[in-house]
Structure 1
């Protein structure tokens, strides 16, 4: 027996729905036909993909492995279909993009406006995240490309990185903070900090912590982790806590009115804003267009901050 696309479709549906009955209903097929399809692919693979229980099914270890590949196949088939349609003049389709908060502030407004003018019927799926949070999704093709800080030494060689511009991180405090006039990290030795919570420690956090400890003799005293940059900023604006965030945050009107930058980050390593995509895997024309608009917006932003 040769594996068919319907087998992949059926396995994905069963995994998503959690039972044969629910998957059959979702696909609009008879349950016995779906059960036969799953049995066929399991015989082909020589392994059980699901464990059957009274309340449904659960994916086996082999099933998990197959699902990762199947999801990639499904993503590429969707892209292939959309690419053909777009080559033939179609203006519909979807793009999945991941962006950091800093890249959202710096580039998204201009890039999105230009993209929407060209593809008004496009559906965008935007995930706000640093690279560590979406690396697997990008590798598997569930996300088309990522825009944000990126350290190539910490990822596999399966990604292509294009640098857009360099930017600084700033130590932020409320406008009337007693340490607002500090000029070096030792002045902040006794400060308390809030940090946005990411899935994994990233290089920029590690670099700052190492620099802070080298300059002050102790690590920054982090007393709060926040699940978003917005939560971090609201906390800083209404407390004595400090934080360190990309310079773009002081370009948001609400933020710039409530916060000030403490001039103590001269030795904090510079970050690179990058576009990251999979090697040797072309984007659809629509995704390529959005990538181009982000690149163009990044170039304009780089010129603007160079003049400041």
Structure 2
């Protein structure tokens, strides 16, 4: 049986990361020539490196079979360790690069719900690839709350709208993010499969939505008014996304959601049981923006997060 202590000594003092890269590549491709090509090496160089590995280990690492090169028990053990070791090296490299670029510390972002789902979440995913240890905080709230927190220095930047009565000159405003509203119900709802619905078709059902004055609700009410339909009277007011989803699941309630949230619930999340109603009249909300305090210097990690959000916006605008 192979001596695991001896293996540990070999790993610590003799074998190098390039050796483990070759072992993993041969396991993946089953041919030395293909493994060498994947590592941008010549086959003779790969052969010499494999001979060095087997000399260090003191036993065969691969055997040649009709199906190609197959690892021995020792080869399989080395291959398992190769995955862990190379990932540790990659993580160390990312961490060092993050420190070198200043991508450490905390960043606090505020966003309306659609902006959080559509732009902040993809930006977080990208940032975590570059700076795994970054401490990221995301506040999801109405724009008036977000702007108040931004002015108080509690947020680095926000995705939202500048409330009425607030002097816009104190901010740096970037981009214009469109927001479309979808109307969602549970799949068992009587209107779930109906086509080309008018707002009058929806009036007599219970609704769950944001409080009066919220941009999504204002946009929805404007469509009711434009179509000459009465605004629903049976409404539960909430800012909680979870409460809205629970109400839809438990009743024939109807709820408006931004397109980004609607896509997440109905298309990207299996088993939600929710579906979009086919509404004749499109519903659009006033655009929101990426807003930061003018003259305030952000940390490198916050700047990078902001740039990734803007990049996500530009990517979607081009598609």
- Shorter-chain TM-score tier: 0.5 to 0.7
Instruction: Tell me how far apart the structure 2 counterparts of residues 277 and 130 of structure 1 sit (CA, whole Å).
Output: 16
Corresponding residue number in structure 1 for 2:38: none
**What is the SS of the residue equivalent to 2:110?**
strand
Distance 1:146 1:259 in 2: 29
Distance 1:135 1:95 in 2: 16
Answer 1 or 2: higher relative contact order, Cα 8 Å, separation at least 6. 1
Kept in 1, the 8 Å contact 2:179–2:284? The answer is: no
Q: Which residue of 2 aligns with 1:160?
A: 172
Matched, 1:123 2:123: no
Whether the aligned pair in 2 keeps the contact of 1:196 and 1:229 (CA below 8 Å) is no
| Cα distance in 1 for residues equivalent to 2:128 and 2:316 | 20
Residue of structure 2 in register with 1:287 after alignment = 302
Q: Measure how far apart 1:129 and its partner are.
A: 1.3
Q: Deviations over 1:52-83 (max 9, x none)?
A: xxxxxxxxxxxxxxxxxxxxxxxxxxxxxxxx
Distance in 1, Cα, partners of 2:177 & 2:236: 30
- The 1:91/1:179 distance shift into structure 2, 3 A limit, reads closer
What SS does the aligned partner of 1:143 have?
A: coil
User: 1:104: Cα distance to partner?
Assistant: 2.5
- How far 1:151 moved relative to its partner? 5.2
SS in 2 for 1:170: strand
TM-score norm. by structure 1 comes to 0.61
CA distance 1:255–1:167, change in 2 (3 Å): farther
* 1:171 equivalenced with 2:186 (yes/no): no
State whether structure 2 residue 218 is matched by structure 1 residue 203. Answer: no
- Three-state SS of the structure 2 residue aligned to 1:269 is strand
- Structure 1 or 2, whichever has the larger Rg, is 2
| Structure 2: unaligned runs, 5 residues or longer | 1-97
> Structure 1, unaligned stretches of length 5 or more?
1-85
RMSD over equivalenced CA pairs, Å: 2.7
Assess, with a 3 A threshold, how the Cα gap between structure 1 residues 101 and 285 changes in structure 2: closer, same or farther: same
